[in-house]
Structure 1
Amino acid sequence: MKENKYDEASFFANYSVMPRSTGGLEAAGEWQEFRSLLPDLQGKRVLDLGCGFGWHCRYAREQGAASVLGIDLSANMLERARVMTDDPGIEYRRLAMEDAAFSAGQFDTVLSSLAIHYIEDFSSLCRQVEHCLKPGGAFVFSVEHPIFTALAAQDWHYGPEGEKQHWPVDSYHLEGLRQAHFLGHEVAKYHRTTATYINTLLESGFSLKRISELQPTPQMLEQNPAWQEETRRPMFLLLSAVKN
């Protein structure tokens, strides 16, 4: 299933006013952790899967990347990315991640931010990423954490006074489609376990370098008390791997 909610007017309007949409990378809570997983991008050829508004593409060029290709299924996303970008070293292309087919060793680094949980076949994607990376190339990505995606509701269990009592987890090992409620819409996402993410990478010819579940730091908690919720359950899973 290749659902394209971001080209639906009301959904895109809601997404466009999110803090990460208006404030960029610094407004994305997981950004500092994601950035720490990235390799040195100086002189690198970079592919961004699900590039959205192009924030990561522009960051890669700021870090000295030789070229960046950002692909996304959404025409709305790419139109906004092009408006925000003035750099001949960045190319945006309308293309679903599932349909991406690039030459062997075409890229030095492949990254993806909060997009891979929208695709059904992670194994096929890993094989294509492995194919298009040079030996030793990096694959860095973030997804919604499997504890967060296990139940389609993606919400707390509330007490009689509306207090958040706990985060329910059920059907964890039943991987597959979840019709999640996001930004006032039903959105197709795909749940898979942490083990599936890691083992699929290993089976596809990668070595795992680092895994993060984004535990809030004291500084994060001081700057934004809302991060206290993230100490109760992980919302993000971030992985860094290299092609063998």
Structure 2
Amino acid sequence: MAELASENLDGPRGKLIQTSMEEWEYPEDSFDLVISRLAVHYIEDIGSLFRNIHRTLKPGGQFVFSVEHPVITSTLQTSGMRTSWTVDNYFMEGYREQQWLGGTVYKYHRTIENYYSTLQQAGFAVHNLRESNPQRKYFISEETYERRRRIPLFLFLAAQSVIN
């Protein structure tokens, strides 16, 4: 994936930096937009992460990210086709483990309220929140579409850096 990204960004379009979100140095006032796709739920200290992202954004910059929906992370189950959507331990935030693709995946469950308030505490104004409501036209199988309509898989948040 890193090789393909590097090829796509070759030249003036961008530069690939391969590091963890916790270890990157976040240069101050450097970016207009930060995007994170399905990665924030792997980070233990999102308060620190969100403050770092706020610092690296130019005034008025945007932070857009997606996470596995909290109704999913509240009760992680072993891999396989999930047919039961019981939500349990929703307000018990913290560390979770899941068996997936032959290995153990480590995640952190948070409520929607926690994501929202932690963004605000870091200096962001949340201006959009969406859940993954499936659209019929994107599914070949009616069965898969109906199964996906039972529960949101992802949560999307968009926030703007409040000018200090």
Fold-level similarity (TM above 0.5): yes
CA distance in 2, matches of 1:94, 1:145: 26
1:96 is displaced (CA, Å) by 0.7
CA distance in 1, matches of 2:22, 2:134: 32
What is the aligned-residue RMSD (CA, Å)? Answer: 2.1
CA distance in 2, matches of 1:177, 1:154: 15
Q: Larger deviation: 187-196 or 176-185?
A: 176-185
What amino acid sits opposite 1:96 in the alignment?
Answer: S
What amino acid sits opposite 1:148 in the alignment?
Answer: I
Does residue 209 in structure 1 map to residue 127 in structure 2? Answer: yes
Structure 2: 5+ residue runs without aligned partners? none
| Partner SS state of residue 126, structure 1 | helix
What amino acid sits opposite 2:20 in the alignment?
Answer: A
CA distance in 2, matches of 1:167, 1:156: 13
| Partner SS state of residue 138, structure 2 | helix
1:105 to 25, 29, 37: 29
What amino acid sits opposite 1:210 in the alignment?
Answer: N
Aligned length: 161
Find the counterpart in structure 1 of residue 53 from structure 2. Answer: 129
The verdict on how the C-alpha distance between 1:235 and 1:85 changes in structure 2, with shifts beyond 3 A counting, is: same
1:81 is displaced (CA, Å) by 2.7
CA distance in 2, matches of 1:172, 1:155: 20
CA distance in 2, matches of 1:154, 1:231: 21
The runs of at least 4 aligned residues of structure 1 exceeding 4 Å deviation read 154-158
- Hey, which of these two has a bigger chunk of helix by percent? 1
TM-score normalized by structure 2?
Answer: 0.88
1:130 is displaced (CA, Å) by 0.5
Find the counterpart in structure 2 of residue 90 from structure 1. Answer: 14
TM-score normalized by structure 1?
Answer: 0.61
The answer (yes or no) to whether the contact 2:95–2:108 under 8 Å persists in 1 is: yes
| Partner SS state of residue 135, structure 1 | strand
CA distance in 2, matches of 1:91, 1:235: 31
Find the counterpart in structure 2 of residue 175 from structure 1. Answer: 93
Please give the residue correspondences for 1:6-45 in structure 2 after superposition, counting only pairs within 5 Å: none
The answer (yes or no) to whether the contact 1:156–1:167 under 8 Å persists in 2 is: no
Structure 1: 5+ residue runs without aligned partners? 1-52, 54-77, 159-163
| Partner SS state of residue 179, structure 1 | strand
CA distance in 2, matches of 1:84, 1:139: 22
| Partner SS state of residue 178, structure 1 | strand
- Percent identity, aligned pairs only? 39
Does residue 234 in structure 1 map to residue 158 in structure 2? Answer: no
Does residue 120 in structure 1 map to residue 120 in structure 2? Answer: no
Find the counterpart in structure 1 of residue 118 from structure 2. Answer: 200
CA distance in 2, matches of 1:156, 1:181: 10
